[in-house]
Amino acid sequence: MKNYGSSALSEFLGDNITYRNLVPVDPSIPGLPDIWEEAGLSTNRIPRKTTAEYAGVVALILKYIARQTNPGSAIKRVIFIGDTHLNDGMAFQNICRAGDWDGMAFIAAESIEPVQFEVEEKHPGKIVVANRWSALDQFKDTCAQLNFPIDGQAAVLIDLDKTALGARGRNDKVIDRVRIDAATQTIRELLGDDFDPQVFSTAYQCLNQPEFHTFTADNQDYLVYICMILGGGLTSLEALVEDVADGRMATFHQFLRYSEENKKNLPFKLGRVHDDFFSLVNKGDPTPFKKFRQEEFKQTVSRMGHMPAGIPVEELLQVEITITQEVRQAALEWREQGALLFGLSDKPDEASIPTLDLTSRGYAAIHRVKTDIVGE
């Protein structure tokens, strides 16, 4: 493994990026609030990444960019680079369907197991699953062998989290620690002297498991809010787990109603946070815990490009969020060949783009923060 210097995602993506809100960072590109009706959606609520509605919006955004940057040539092919077979694979296929495009996806997660490189026939497209990020070179060869050119008629979609940044299996644990540290710091500030790190850690680790995803809706804002309420003493983790198992507390919205009905028993500061959270959830905001997400943004930036030069790469990967050289190199090559590059992130905008207050203090959006580049 080698350090290739430093850069930012904007080196190869510019502002051709959309975070969870499906509003491209480049203000000249229309986003969900502008095109939801054209995309065939019944409302402008933000869809999840694995849905056909999400794919429809992304496909429409890509067509807008193509018309702006290369008006004489429509998109015919899609390349998707990601790190999760289920979620990224589903998003890839949905986008191919939405745009009526052929596609090739590369899904990787670094492993010490023997090298694997498998091509799966899907309808539509093909998905290559590998356990080395360096297999992107083999993926490029495969595309050439299959007569699948990555040129001016191709759109390359690059997942940001745990793909372009913090490659899964190589550097993703730093991203996980950032989220936990942000949640811990947020609850610590809210509870003050009443904060018990052991209570918080036990609750977070317990409820962050797949068996509770139906209850938490696999939403980190919901999960951290639950831990806050537990820390405030409204109920206990043991009682909540029992209620979830018995079906008495089957969904997060039931828990939220319980908190609303009993909020008089919350400490004053928590009650105010609950009121804001409750209001945003009722408005359909998928990222209602703003304080937590803003803390996540600051914690993320603090772990990018902060280590001294010369630190061993193995140590660097344990403490800093790095750019994946294999993804960066492929992206630069494909851009040179005329492909349209676009970055996708399911990370909330609030955890990715600074508020006006933070901007005035010198903070930049995640994709513009320089950090070390690491790869084979």
pLDDT of residue 309: 87
Q: ∠ at Cα 184 (320, 239), nearest 5°?
A: 135
pLDDT of residue 355: 92
pLDDT of residue 67: 92
- In this predicted model, what pLDDT tens digit does every residue of 102-140 receive, in sequence order? 999 999 999 999 999 999 999 899 999 999 999 999 999
- In this predicted model, what pLDDT tens digit does every residue of 192-247 receive, in sequence order? 988 999 999 999 999 999 999 999 999 999 999 999 999 999 999 999 999 999 99
3-state secondary structure of 299: helix
d(CA 32, CA 40): 11
pLDDT of residue 331: 98
3-state secondary structure of 361: coil
DSSP letter for 119, please.
Answer: E
% pLDDT > 70, the chain: 100
Q: Which amino acid is at 164?
A: A
Query: Which residues fall within 8 angstroms of residue 127, CB to CB, at 6 or more apart?
Result: 85, 89, 92, 104, 105, 107, 119, 120
pLDDT of residue 267: 87
On the CB side of 221, CA atoms within 13 Å amount to 23
User: What torsion do the CA atoms of 91, 39, 96, 100 make, to the nearest 10 degrees?
Assistant: 170
Residues facing residue 324 across a β-bridge: 374
Strand arrangement, sheet containing 323-324: 2-7, 371-375, 323-324
Contact of 152 with 70, CB cutoff 8 Å: yes
**Neighbour tally for 86: CB within 10 Å:** 9
d(CA 10, CA 8): 5
Residue 348's nearest CA partner among 292, 272, 303 is 292
Q: What is the pTM of this model?
A: 0.93
Burial 285-310 (b: 16+ CB within 10 A, else e): bbbbbbbbbbbbbebbbebbbebeee
Q: What residues of the chain score a pLDDT lower than 50?
A: none
CA distances from 27 to 16, 65, 74, 190 (A): 10, 12, 22, 35
Q: Which amino acid is at 282?
A: N
Contact of 100 with 60, CB cutoff 8 Å: no
